[in-house]
Structure 1
Amino acid sequence: MPKKISVENIKELRIKTGAGMTDCKKALEDSNGSIDIAIEALRKKGLASADKKSGRLAAEGLVESYIHAGSRIGVLLEINCETDFVSRQPEFHQLARDIAMQITACQLVDYVSVDDIPSDVILYEQNLELQKEDLVNKPLNIKEKIAHGRLNKRLKEISLMNQNFIKQTDITVEELIKQHIALWGENIKIRRFQRFILGEGLNIKKNDFTDEVSRMIKNK
């Protein structure tokens, strides 16, 4: 029978490893409550101590570009680390390229993390959820609870860090970053990105061939 994981166990593991609460809970569940096995599992995944480094200043790094096949979509990405030494490593360049490819593949993503989403965007999405037809006749408390759950899901959909990594779908982009933080022992941060889609924002006028021929005849 699986051992029940207490909040105290999760806090203890977090203090010992510096890993995130969710990662600690999962590691304890997988190890049937064994702190030692959970610590080893987090270290193997590269998650131990990652969160402790995430607050440190990262001012080095690089700007990566990725142009998808067909040259109709591209991404510019700034990813930071703490030292020039790490920014020159081939693994860091590969990480930057993988993230740029991820952004290209996830076209709903507009922000690095949920924390970066402006309050007006959150309010707009919240109002949309509250106004959906299937919630109209529900009691207010039920409506708000459902809308809150849907809002959280929506915010994660447009956040890069919450996406499953396209090359290893059992981890998120956030977990991928944490693995590299643990690998080099310094903070790594995705600062910003910009996606470019060919023709986006242009009002391209497409005339029907028959109409064009008719105009030509009239002008003769």
Structure 2
Amino acid sequence: MSISAQQVKELRERTGLGMMECKAALTETNGDMEAAADLLRKRAGAKVEKKAGRIAAEGTIGIHVSADRKTAAMAEVNCETDFVAKGDEFDAFAGAVAARVAAAQPADVDALYRLPHQDGAPATVAQVREGLVMKLGENINVRRFERLTTGQGHIGSYVHGRKIGVLVVLEGGDENLAKDIAMHVAASRPEYVSKDQVPAAAVAKEKEIFAEQAKASGKPADIIEKMVMGRVNKYLGEITLLGQPFVKDPETTVEKLLKSKSASVKGFIRYEVGEGLEKRSDNFAAEVMATVKGA
């Protein structure tokens, strides 16, 4: 029987798979839409399973921020090669995933996969993912995501080269300041907003290490204590956002910059593609630093 372009279009929207695959499935099932969809899902599932064990540590960071900048979401979507990660379809999928997270607040990746890919779309996130696996020939998965909301403040965002993504909740200031702080977080990798958030156990451990190092100097105990506290304060300045020199103006700290703008950071999230999955040779932090200094 003859298969119409409308039938192919409808099946593509339902499954997220390619035109030729959809047409072939409709032809094989004599135009039965339900049977064709089931056939494609079975075939896609088999192909996805074959690729599921392959390492996927490349990818991209998708970010979605609402128009009022009160809600935002960020997702890391992984694939096997940087070549695929740079593709428009893969990038669009990452963006759509972040938008789904922002709108629907899924509890985990499994719940996310069961959601419609877009509002009103028949295909789920899982089905579109399966379609990409078939089309692009690589293992593709959503590794993680987070969602932020704010009542009084607004959210700034920044993505560097698809590989590093940051969301920052800022009270006071403006959109430009929020983006500047997000760029700073991308470049400088702070672990906490302020020293008050650093676990006491972590501070005690560093203090113990510094004390052992200082003892080797042979100086009096009171001098050693001052040396240790100096090193602890330096350590806290290095790992906290407020204590770090601002990347665009190292003569001032982020804390001083925020005070001058009557602003405060309530929280941030920083993702880097593949972190924790494998060793990376690319120095993305240095690359971001060069970018923001030239901005």
- TM bucket (normalised to shorter chain) is 0.5 to 0.7
**Map of 1:135 onto structure 2:** 215
TM-score (normalizing by structure 1) = 0.53
Deviation digits for residues 48-100 of structure 1 (CA, Å, limit 9, x no counterpart): xxxxxxxxxx951122221112x22111211124xxxxxxxxx6011100000
Q: Which runs of structure 2 are paired with 1:166-177 in the superposition (5 Å)?
A: 166-177=247-258
**Map of 2:56 onto structure 1:** none
CA RMSD, 1 decimal: 2.1
1:152 deviation in Å? 0.9
Distance, in Å, in 1 between the alignment partners of 2:249 and 2:227 is 31
Q: Counterpart of 2:156 in 1: which secondary structure? A: strand
Distance, in Å, in 2 between the alignment partners of 1:178 and 1:157 is 19
Distance, in Å, in 1 between the alignment partners of 2:216 and 2:261 is 46
**Map of 1:103 onto structure 2:** 185
Distance, in Å, in 2 between the alignment partners of 1:179 and 1:153 is 23
Distance, in Å, in 2 between the alignment partners of 1:110 and 1:203 is 20
Distance, in Å, in 1 between the alignment partners of 2:225 and 2:193 is 27
Task: Please say if residues 157 and 168 of structure 2, whose CA atoms lie closer than 8 Å, have aligned partners that are also in contact.
Answer: yes
Deviation digits for residues 100-137 of structure 1 (CA, Å, limit 9, x no counterpart): 00111112x211112222211111111121122x5336
Task: Please say if residues 59 and 80 of structure 1, whose CA atoms lie closer than 8 Å, have aligned partners that are also in contact.
Answer: no
CA gap of 1:136–1:93, structure 2 versus 1, over 3 A, is same
TM-score (normalizing by structure 2) = 0.40
Which consecutive residues of structure 2, in runs of 5 or more, have no partner in the other structure? 1-149, 280-295
Question: Which of 135, 140, 150 is matched with 2:231 structurally?
Answer: 150
Task: Please say if residues 66 and 76 of structure 1, whose CA atoms lie closer than 8 Å, have aligned partners that are also in contact.
Answer: yes
Distance, in Å, in 1 between the alignment partners of 2:259 and 2:232 is 26
**Map of 1:75 onto structure 2:** 166
Task: Please say if residues 63 and 79 of structure 1, whose CA atoms lie closer than 8 Å, have aligned partners that are also in contact.
Answer: yes
Distance, in Å, in 2 between the alignment partners of 1:137 and 1:129 is 11
Which consecutive residues of structure 1, in runs of 5 or more, have no partner in the other structure? 1-57, 82-90, 182-187, 205-220
Distance, in Å, in 1 between the alignment partners of 2:242 and 2:236 is 11
Percent of matched pairs sharing the same residue: 36
Higher relative contact order (CA 8 A, sep 6+): 1
**Map of 2:270 onto structure 1:** 195
Task: Please say if residues 63 and 76 of structure 1, whose CA atoms lie closer than 8 Å, have aligned partners that are also in contact.
Answer: yes
Distance, in Å, in 1 between the alignment partners of 2:278 and 2:259 is 42
Q: Counterpart of 1:126 in 2: which secondary structure? A: helix
Q: Which amino acid aligns with 1:193?
A: F
Report how many residues are paired: 129
Matched, 1:64 2:161: no
